[in-house]
Amino acid sequence: MTHPFALDVDTLSGMKPITTAVFSLGSNLGDRLEHLQSAVTTLAGTPDVIVVEVSPIYETKAIGGPEGNPDFLNLVVVTETTQPARVLLERAHAIEAAHERVREIENGPRTLDVDLIIVGKTELDDPAIQLPHPRAHERAFVLAPWHDVDPGAVIPGQGPIAELLAEVDLSGIVRRDDLTIEV
């Protein structure tokens, strides 16, 4: 229990703690690479969000959705931020909306998908936000690119991504070193 007269130095100084937030980006409609580039640029321009790492790009077979669902380009962006999880989720949704993301068909084609995977060690189970992302630990298109840039990362409540990656099916996912994103 915190001492009732203890002072929070960060609160007194106006500083906010910095935490790591990880986003997974994907696109399977239109100019997929341009959609990803625009999303990374927008994340990098977000107040109080610093892009630390952008993973290599992976091409991934679509999971579920309608027949003929095009392949995705996926990547992971590791950031440091003072923003709370809900603000980061709102930003992710705003970036999707700017790319005319439509949520009509579950697992359907989309111009851009921006998922908030983790925010530090935060665990939330709320209808509006779930952290860590409830399926990230099962998705090769999240784990493989994330592992490339932060192999020691851990998903709270699930474990080290290196161990999780060893347990997922990697068929249908190919690293595309011929494609790059500028930060």
Q: Worst-scoring range by mean pLDDT, 43-47, 64-68, 129-133, 145-149?
A: 64-68
Phi-psi region of 79 (alpha: psi -120 to 50; beta: other; left: phi over 0): beta
> How is the chain split into domains, by residue range?
18-175
Tokens, residue 53: 């790492």
Fold type of domain 18-175:
Alpha-Beta Plaits (3.30.70)
Integer Cα distance of 33 and 40 in angstroms: 11
- Closest Cα partner for 136 from 183, 94, 74? 74
For residue 2 the two structure tokens come to 């915190």
For residue 12, the model assigns a pLDDT of 53
pLDDT greater than 70 at residue 39: yes
Structure tokens at 109: 């084609």
pLDDT, residue 2, reads 45
Rounded average pLDDT over 165-181: 96
Mean local confidence (pLDDT), 3-21: 65
Residue 104 has pLDDT above 60, yes or no: no
Report, as an integer, the average pLDDT of 135-147: 97
Instruction: Give the predicted TM-score (pTM) of the model.
Output: 0.89
Q: What is the DSSP string of 84-113?
A: -HHHHHHHHHHHHHHTT---SSTT---S-E
Closest CA to 51 of 80, 93, 74, 31: 80
